[in-house]
Amino acid sequence: MGAIIEVRDFSMRFGDLTVIDHLSFDVMEGETFGLLGSNGSGKTTTIRALLDIYQPTGGSLNIEGHPFHPSQSARLGYLPEERGLYQKESVIDLMTYFGRLKGLSRRDAQAWSMRYLTEVGLPDKARVRLDKLSGGQQQKVQLGVTIMNDPAILILDEPTKGFDPVTRRLLLDLLDQQKSRGSTIVFISHQMDEVERLCDRILLLKDGRAEAYGTIPEVQDKYGGRRIRLEFTGDLPASELFTPVVHERNYAELDFGENTDPDQVLRDLLDAGVRIRSYDLTRISMEEVFLRVYGADAGKEA
């Protein structure tokens, strides 16, 4: 499968402010692609240029081989960060209306909408006006509108923002279903556990440039790679082989150099009298990557 989205040498300036600076990346057909970054990194600007809302200062942004055209709307679902639906309409009337816009018959749109509302726990809200729903319930409705015609491409900006853990899990499962049906998903999130679960590849934007680009393991390796997670009793010795980055009573996470043998770390711990209950070699989390890349700015977003 080839690239369904191609961005080449894309630049975007507003007056003297450069928001995107010669950015290039591909999104492959059928993958879930994470577009990540802190405030002002250029994520939303990139999406708006891709959808022809902004005109790029330079470069090209293509969907299925050419710049976006309204005729592609039926094949694309977009959930913006700024939600917006007709507040005075009933849920079922609103969903049916958007289904008709996406090419479904009234009957099929209503049937799909009721199945979806049942799946997300809102069947009793079908005849309720949207402005009578909670914020989380409205987000469920808007996500349903976005995915209701099984679009080939889904672009989702913070789709689980404001959800409780149960609803968030439900919505992530829905995205898994969409991917299994062949959808390509572009996913913007600051929940790094969502990124690790869903994304095949990611792009980290910083100051309008590609800071890192590749699979999650490739990006994790770039920013520290492997880490030892340790459950133990006793006292951790001082060592030149490792540095504790997390150290609690009976748990630690140890960073170690790329030339250090983790088996030697284990032997040194045992020789020092540390009683090991578990010893796992893993990669650093995407949350840790995010913090290392964005530093103080990460707290504003993560």
- Determine contact, residues 148/178, Cβ cutoff 8 Å: no
What's the pTM value of the predicted model, to 2 decimals? 0.83
- Please count the structural domains in the chain: 2
**pLDDT at site 224:** 74
Task: Give me the sheet containing 184-188, strands edge to edge.
Answer: 76-79, 153-157, 184-188, 32-37, 201-206, 209-215
* pLDDT at residue 107, as a whole number: 94
Helix (H, G, I), strand (E, B) or coil at 231: strand
User: Within 10 Å of residue 156's Cβ, how many Cβ atoms?
Assistant: 26
* Nearest-angstrom CA–CA distance, 39 and 73: 28
What is residue 300's predicted lDDT score, i.e. its pLDDT? 47
What percent of the chain lies above the pLDDT cut of 70?
96
- The residue among 168, 191, 220 that closes a domain is 220
Q: Which residue has the higher pLDDT, 55 or 294?
A: 55
Nearest C-alpha neighbor of 301 from the set 185, 157, 156: 157
**pLDDT computed for residue 283 by the predictor:** 87
Rounded Cα distance, 245 and 259, in Å = 18
Print the domain residue range for 123: 3-220
| Contact status, residue 36 vs residue 191, Cβ threshold 8 Å | no
pLDDT digits (tens, 9 = 90+) for 213-272: 999 999 998 887 789 999 999 999 999 899 998 899 899 999 888 788 999 999 999 999
What pLDDT, on the 0 to 100 scale, is given for residue 126?
A: 92
Q: Is residue 36, in this structure, part of any structural domain at all? A: yes
pLDDT, average across residues 120-144: 88
pLDDT for the residue 299? 47
90 and 232 assigned to the same domain: no
More confidently predicted of 73 and 96 = 96
pLDDT over 70 at 83, yes or no: no
Both 130 and 39 in one domain: the answer is yes
- Average per-residue pLDDT in the chain? 89
Provide the pLDDT confidence category of residue 273 given band limits of 50, 70 and 90. very high
Mean pLDDT across 95-116:
91
**Strand pairing of 153-157 and 76-79?**
parallel
Cβ-contact 269, 261 below 8 angstroms: no
Say yes or no: 185 and 138 in one domain: yes
Q: Is the pLDDT of residue 69 over 60?
A: yes
Task: Establish if 211 belongs to a structural domain.
Answer: yes
Confidence band for 174, pLDDT divided at 50, 70 and 90: confident
Phi, psi dihedral angles at 197 (to 5 degrees): -75, -40
Looking at residue 301, what is its pLDDT? 43
The residues, any chain, with a CB within 8 Å of residue 3's CB and separated by 6 or more, are: 26, 27, 28, 29
Look up residue 1 and give its DSSP letter. -
Whether residue 292 is contained in a domain is answered as: no
The DSSP result for 31-87, as a single string, is: -EEEEEE-TTSSHHHHHHHHTTSS--SEEEEEETTB---GGGGGGEEEE-SS----T
Same domain, 206 and 231: no
User: Can you tell me the mean pLDDT for 12-35?
Assistant: 95
